[in-house]
A and B are shown apart, each in its own frame.
Chain A
Amino acid sequence: DTEVTQTPKHLVMGMTNKKSLKCEQHMGHRAMYWYKQKAKKPPELMFVYSYEKLSINESVPSRFSPECPNSSLLNLHLHALQPEDSALYLCASSQKLAHEQFFGPGTRLTVL
C-alpha cells in the first residue's frame, strides 16, 4: 500500500460544530504532517508528528487539535472554527523527518 488516505473528502460545518479529519498510511512511515492550503496558494505547514510525538506546531490556533493515536493514523480535531478556516486540508507522511513526503488527496472544508 503506497498511498495516504484522508476522510472525509468534503466537510461542511457550522462555527459551533465539532468535527474530525482523519488520515491514514500503511507505508511504515514514522513522520506525519498536516497542511492547510487556501486557493491559489502553496500548502502551509500546521503540525508535524515524528514517532507519534508532536514535533512541530506552527503556532496554529487552539481550535485545531492534532492527535496521533498510532504510527499509521493522524487526526485533526476541529472546534469552533471560523469561516476563514475554510480550505483544503492535506495530510502527508514520510519515512522519517526531512525525507520526501507523500500527500493524501485532502479534505475540502467549508465553515459556514
Chain B
Amino acid sequence: AQSVTQLGSHVSVSEGALVLLRCNYSSSVPPYLFWYVQYPNQGLQLLLKYTTGATLVKGINGFEAEFKKSETSFHLTKPSAHMSDAAEYFCAVSGPPGAGGTSYGKLTFGQGTILTVHP
C-alpha cells in the first residue's frame, strides 16, 4: 500500500522568499516520487521526479526536491518565490516498474498544497 501526506493545505510566502512544501510518503516498495503543479482550470504539469540515483533532484522553474529515505520525505523547495509560482502543488508516489502488487501502475496523490505568493 502507498500513501502521501502533504503538511499544510495552504502555504503563503512573500515574493523572493524561500518556498518549502512538505511531503511525506508511505510505500511498501522503493518509491517513485513526483511533484506536480496545477494552475486553475488546467491539467497537472510534472515539476520533477525521483526514481533512483541522486537524492537531490532538480526540476523546472527553479524547483528542487530531496528524497530522504530515513525520514520518508520528499519536500519541494525553491530559493526565491515568484508571483507566477502561485498554484496548487501535488506530491505523488507510485511503485517502480516491475514492483507488482495492488498499487502497481497507480499514482497516489497527496491532498495538495495551495501556494500563495504575496508581492
**B90 to chain A: closest residue by CB:** A42
Q: Would you call B34 and A100 a contact (CB within 8 A)?
A: yes
**Hey, what's the 0/1 contact readout for A74-109 against B, CB within 8 Å counting as 1?**
000000000000001010100011111111111010
B116 at the A interface (CB under 8 A): no
- For the complex, give the distance between the alpha carbons of A6 and B44 in Å: 13
Give the total number of A-B pairs whose CB atoms are below 8 A apart.
59
A interface residue count range (under 10 / 10 to 19 / 20 to 34 / 35 or more): 20 to 34
B107 CB contacts on chain A under 8 angstroms: 33, 45, 101
Given the complex, which residues of A lie within 8 Å of B99, measured CB to CB? 98
Contact flag A50-B105 (CB < 8 Å), given A42-B90, A98-B94: yes
In the complex, the answer to whether B43 meets A90 with C-beta atoms within 8 Å is: yes
- Does A21 sit at the interface, judged by CB under 8 A? no
Cross-chain contact B44 with A103 (CB below 8 angstroms):
yes
Q: Which of B15-36 contact A (CB under 8 A)?
A: 32, 34, 36
Q: Find chain A residues with CB under 8 A from B112 CB.
A: 40-42
- CB–CB A98/B105 < 8 A: yes
Q: Does B106 contact A56, Cβ atoms closer than 8 Å? A: yes
Contact A48 B105 (CB under 8 A): yes
A6, B36: Cα distance in complex, Å: 19
Q: Which residues of A contact B90 (CB under 8 A)?
A: 42-43
| Bound: A42/B36 CA distance, A | 11
